């Protein structure tokens, strides 16, 4: 691991041709003031130079460095450029210029959930990483994702058979459930990655403005290099790339023009802290306490699903007496009284004055007095249907 201080343009001169397996960079973006619009009537002939406009300086800056980066890359090497939303199109053109359009591999979308704000418009929740290789024979380790994470993929993994008309259909067992394929290889990683944003509470955080999650870099490094390979980050900032490289047994060279960045990086390399994302490790589904079946019963209702809370499955968006309206769906094998108890407890802590319990199981009749006034009970279709069958059965003794 080497961390060099200075402008990477100069520092790169010391790096040998074709010596680096992978490059990751998150170049600084110069925010320049907007340029004026020219004639919009379309009368004038279109010129490509216009597109560059005032960004010429920045383009030049990056272009020079990209040329060097291309030079030091091995023929099996790849480059990953992390882009600002305002500059990605610019960087893309430069990459096409330096690496060639044929060497474009992927436009990786890193997306995440984030705090919202009152912005008018869509909440920005992704960043772009361009992936180019130097030649067509580039190092690439295919990575598979767990297919169980996504229900859509489940469908793809369903076993197929032919129906009576000879059409391909999904195979189903006697219960009508789909049968899954045996293959457990998983789904090849796509170019859309959900990786949690570096959380405000994460210990991994070192306070650097554009700090990236180690998990993001790990994925890139594992994908494009093998252990022992050399990785270069010409704008290393807080040094996440090098930390990830070290954790994965790769070599690394970092460069930054700022003293602080270089110091920070060296410090982090001595004692790398990586917060294992609970979310990523266990998967989103591990948080779900309000199970799918329960929420399905509430479909169409204007409600907020509630997880991480045993007593309730949802809160209505509507309020009652300025207090939340809680909803619980009776769970299988749970007595009605137990349901009422759990819901009552939740209602108390949330000072709710109106709660709704969806009864899903037929039960012993319980006295009205055992139901708190603030709890209303509604019946799942199943319960009502069974009641109907029971009633008609009495009249009409045929099963």
Partner DNA sequence: TACACCTCTGAATCTTCCA
Partner DNA sequence: CTGGAAGATTCAGAGGTGT
Q: How far apart are CA 188 and CA 388, in angstroms?
A: 50
- The nearest distance, CB 364 to DNA, in angstroms, is 26
- Residue 1 partner contact from a copy of itself, DNA, none using kind-dependent CB cut-offs of 5 to 8 Å: none
Where do runs of H (alpha helix) occur along 248-398?
Answer: 259-270, 278-282, 292-297, 336-349, 381-395
Q: How far apart are CA 356 and CA 326, in angstroms?
A: 6
95-154 binders of a copy of itself (CB under 8 A): 96-98, 100-102, 104-109, 111-117, 119-126, 128, 131, 140, 142, 146-154
Buried b (16+ CB within 10 A) or exposed e, 165-202: eeeeeebeeeeeeeeeeeeeeebeeeeebebbbbeeeb
208 binds a copy of itself (CB under 8 A): no
- Residue 173 partner contact from a copy of itself, DNA, none using kind-dependent CB cut-offs of 5 to 8 Å: none
- The nearest distance, CB 342 to DNA, in angstroms, is 9
Compute φ and ψ for 93, nearest 5 degrees: -65, -40
- The nearest distance, CB 365 to DNA, in angstroms, is 29
Which residues touch 321 (CB under 8 Å, ≥6 apart)?
353, 354
- The nearest distance, CB 343 to a copy of itself, in angstroms, is 14
Compute φ and ψ for 233, nearest 5 degrees: -130, 100
196 binds a copy of itself (CB under 8 A): yes
Give the residue among 95, 106, 68 at the shortest CA–CA distance from 232: 68
Contact segment (CB under 8 A) with a copy of itself among 20-28, 38-46, 232-240, 363-371 equals 38-46
291 binds a copy of itself (CB under 8 A): no
Q: How far apart are CA 82 and CA 66, in angstroms?
A: 13
- The secondary element (H helix, E strand) that includes residue 329 is strand 323-329
Q: With respect to DNA, which residue has the nearer C-beta, 2 or 172?
A: 172
Q: With respect to a copy of itself, which residue has the nearer C-beta, 232 or 327?
A: 327
- The nearest distance, CB 265 to DNA, in angstroms, is 18
Q: Is the dihedral of CA 329, 335, 339, 340 positive or negative?
A: positive
> Which listed residue (323, 335, 341, 371) binds a copy of itself by CB under 8 A?
323
- Residue 209 partner contact from DNA, a copy of itself, none using kind-dependent CB cut-offs of 5 to 8 Å: DNA
Compute φ and ψ for 68, nearest 5 degrees: -65, -40
Report whether 245 contacts 231 (CB < 8 A).
Answer: yes
- The secondary element (H helix, E strand) that includes residue 214 is helix 214-224
- The nearest distance, CB 364 to a copy of itself, in angstroms, is 17
Interface residues with DNA (CB under 7 A)?
112-120, 124, 147-152, 154-156, 158, 160-162, 167-170, 178, 181, 184, 186-187, 196-197, 199-203, 205, 207, 209, 275, 277-280, 308-311, 349
Q: With respect to DNA, which residue has the nearer C-beta, 156 or 378?
A: 156
């Amino acid at each position: 691991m080497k961390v060099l201080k200075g402008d990477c343009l100069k520092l790169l001169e010391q790096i040998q041709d074709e010596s680096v397996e992978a490059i990751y960079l998150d170049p600084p973006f110069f925010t320049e003031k907007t340029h004026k619009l020219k004639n919009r009537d379309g009368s004038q002939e279109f010129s490509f130079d216009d597109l560059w406009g005032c960004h010429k300086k920045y383009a030049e800056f990056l272009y020079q460095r990209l040329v060097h980066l291309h030079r030091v890359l091995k023929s099996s090497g790849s480059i990953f450029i992390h882009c600002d939303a305002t500059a990605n199109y610019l960087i893309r053109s430069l990459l096409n210029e330096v690496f060639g359009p044929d060497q474009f591999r992927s436009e990786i979308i890193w997306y995440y959930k984030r705090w919202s704000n009152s912005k008018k418009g869509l909440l920005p929740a992704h960043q772009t990483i361009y992936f180019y290789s130097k030649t067509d024979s580039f190092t690439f380790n295919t990575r598979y994702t767990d297919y169980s994470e996504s229900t859509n993929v489940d469908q793809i993994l369903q076993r197929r058979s032919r129906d009576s008309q000879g059409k391909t259909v999904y195979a189903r067992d006697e219960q009508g459930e789909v049968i899954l394929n045996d293959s457990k290889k998983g789904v090849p990683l796509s170019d859309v990655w959900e990786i949690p944003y570096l959380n405000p509470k994460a210990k991994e955080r070192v306070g650097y403005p554009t700090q990236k999650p180690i998990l993001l870099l790990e994925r890139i490094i594992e994908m494009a290099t093998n252990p022992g390979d050399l990785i270069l980050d010409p704008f290393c900032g807080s040094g996440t790339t090098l930390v990830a490289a070290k954790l994965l047994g790769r070599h690394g060279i970092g460069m930054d023009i700022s003293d602080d960045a270089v110091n920070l990086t060296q410090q982090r390399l001595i004692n790398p802290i990586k917060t294992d994302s609970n979310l990523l490790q266990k998967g989103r589904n591990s948080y779900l306490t309000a199970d799918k079946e329960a929420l399905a019963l509430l479909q169409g209702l204007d409600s907020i699903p509630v997880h991480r809370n045993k007593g309730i499955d949802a809160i209505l968006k509507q309020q009652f007496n300025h207090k939340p309206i809680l909803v619980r769906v009776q769970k299988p094998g749970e007595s009605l009284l137990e349901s009422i108890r759990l819901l009552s407890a939740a209602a108390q802590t949330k000072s709710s004055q109106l709660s709704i319990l969806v009864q899903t199981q037929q039960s012993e009749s319980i006295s009205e007095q055992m139901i708190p006034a603030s709890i209303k009970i509604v019946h799942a279709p199943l319960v009502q249907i069974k009641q109907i069958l029971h009633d008609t059965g009495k009249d009409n003794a045929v099963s």
